[in-house]
Amino acid sequence: MAGRKNNPAPEPDPQGGNPDSGSGSERDPRAGGIPNGGTLGGAGTLAEWLTNGGEACDVVLSSRVRLARNLAGHLFVHRAAKDERERVLQTCRDWILGANVCDRIMWVDLHESPQLDRNLLVERHLISKQHAKGKPAGSGGAVSPAADEPRAVAISIPDERLSIMVNEEDHLRIQMMHAGLSLEECWKHVSAIDDKLEAGLDYAFSPKLGYLTACPTNVGTGMRMSVMLHLPALKVTGEIEKVKRAATDMNLAVRGFYGEGSDAIGDLYQISNQTTLGKPEGAVLTELQDSIIPEVIQYERHARNTLLSKRRAALDDQVFRALGALTHARLIAADEAMQLLSLVRLGVVLGIIPNLSVQAVNTLFLLVQPAHLQRVLGKEMDQEHRRIGRAAMIRERLTK
């Protein structure tokens, strides 16, 4: 199996650039650079979870399944010195790029990427904040800034469904993200990729405790399933607190748009499993996909219908005020934009606002984020200029 080494870049690079060279910023996006915010409106470059609606897309933005895996015989990342991290990175890179995990794959060495590019990947949910920052090396290694620690991400392009983080908290974090409620597809897809990777990488595994992870909260399946939900009506009616409590009682985590510690900006919530030991992947899947998430969806839809039938004038007022603010503001912060976009999205799915697509609103959720905004506008800007530029971009996109 070690002999099966394909061309490291499954797709030849038409620009002649080295697909393995550090930052994607100097590469043509068509050839596999970091997804370029400036071309997001164009065909084929938008992440799949934003362009496709998917099942229950009135409430569910995306589904994700990630697997934590580590290589046997190596220290976990936080404890490993730079040279060991480099060896792990090399081993993983050789195998990931050769294992035919998807048609086209892009490799980004994050320790050689500019911060803006790393932030762009965070905003697209392709790497974690922690991975963007890096982790300081363990004892014994040469002291170097966390941001220089060898780490990378491999991303399937152009769909951006697959991302494999190397040297995050675990050696490998394999993530699959699809549009709408699609946990089963995500699980099948990511498990198949995991099979290809384990054929060449010796995973740390114990028959008793399963896949061994740096943190014991992930040991066992190493699997986290999560669904990103838009719950504006439950927020308005105050019932969101009930959902949160019920989820916590069922050992589920409820987090905001950008994961741990982030508030539910834009009424976007991620619900995910926490238990990874003693419960097989299929059981977690059934529980979330067939029971818990559909209940939350019904709950939100019911709240929306109640607003429509009992508080229509107030609902219309809120929705159109939000649209008015977005189309007339001259300075706007990302959080405020997200909150207003949430109401506009609600207005669109309920048919209150005609001539605007859910996808257009979903896309704006992403484009108003600082790194995307700066990429779209083609320059780095201070906060005030970002607010001006953000307001202008939103106006242009919502009024054309």
Q: Is 330 in the site for another protein (CB under 8 A)?
A: no
In the shown chain, the binding pattern of residues 158 to 177 toward another protein, with x for contact by CB under 8 A and - for none, equals: -----------x--------
Could you give the residue ranges of the DSSP H alpha helices within 27-76?
48-51
Q: Which residues contact 310 (CB under 8 A, 6 or more apart)?
A: none
| Residue in the structure block whose two tokens are 């926490």 | 274
Q: Quick one: which of 279, 301, 311, 385 contacts another protein (CB under 8 A)?
A: 279
Contacts of residue 382, defined as CB under 8 A and 6 or more positions apart, other chains included, come to none
End-to-end CA distance of the chain: 55
Task: Determine phi and psi for 55, rounding to 5 degrees.
Answer: -65, 140
| Interface stretch with another protein, choices 50-58, 147-155, 274-282, 367-375 (CB under 8 A) | 274-282
Q: Which is nearer to another protein, 285 or 377 (CB)?
A: 285
Among 30, 39, 78, 320, binds another protein (CB under 8 A): 78
Sheet with 268-273, strands from edge to edge, namely: 105-109, 152-156, 162-166, 172-179, 60-69, 223-230, 268-273, 252-255
Alpha-helical runs (H) found in 222-369: 232-237, 240-249, 281-286, 293-310, 312-328, 334-349, 358-367
In the complex, minimum distance from the CB of residue 121 to another protein, in angstroms, rounded to a whole number: 23
Considering only residues 20, 58, 86, 198, which one is a binding residue for another protein as defined by CB under 8 A? 198
Residue with tokens 């936080």: 78
280-319: which residues touch another protein (CB under 8 A)?
280-282
Phi, psi of 323 (to 5 degrees): -60, -40
Query: Which region, judged by CB under 8 A, interacts with another protein, from 21-29, 66-74, 109-117, 286-294?
Result: 66-74
Nearer to another protein, 113 or 221 (CB): 221
Q: Which residues contact 26 (CB under 8 A, 6 or more apart)?
A: 17, 33
> What are the tokens at 71?
């290589």
Q: Whole-number minimum distance, CB 316 to another protein, in Å? A: 40
Residue 78 C-beta: closest distance to another protein, Å? 5
Q: Which of 103, 112, 148, 195 binds another protein (CB under 8 A)?
A: 195
CA distances from 39 to 8, 28, 389 (A): 26, 11, 17
Q: Tell me: does residue 21 bind another protein (CB under 8 A).
A: no
The footprint of another protein on this chain (CB under 8 A) covers a number of residues equal to 44
Position 134 contacts another protein (CB under 8 A): no
Among 23, 221, 289, 342, binds another protein (CB under 8 A): 221
**x/- binding map, residues 224-263, to another protein, per CB under 8 A?**
------------------------x--x-x----------
- Of residues 225, 224, 269, the one with CA closest to residue 243: 269
Say whether residue 75 binds another protein (CB under 8 A).
yes
Using CB under 8 A as the criterion, which residues of the chain lie in contact with another protein when the complex forms? 70, 72, 74-76, 78-79, 169, 191, 194-195, 198-199, 202-212, 214-217, 219-221, 223, 248, 251, 253, 274-282
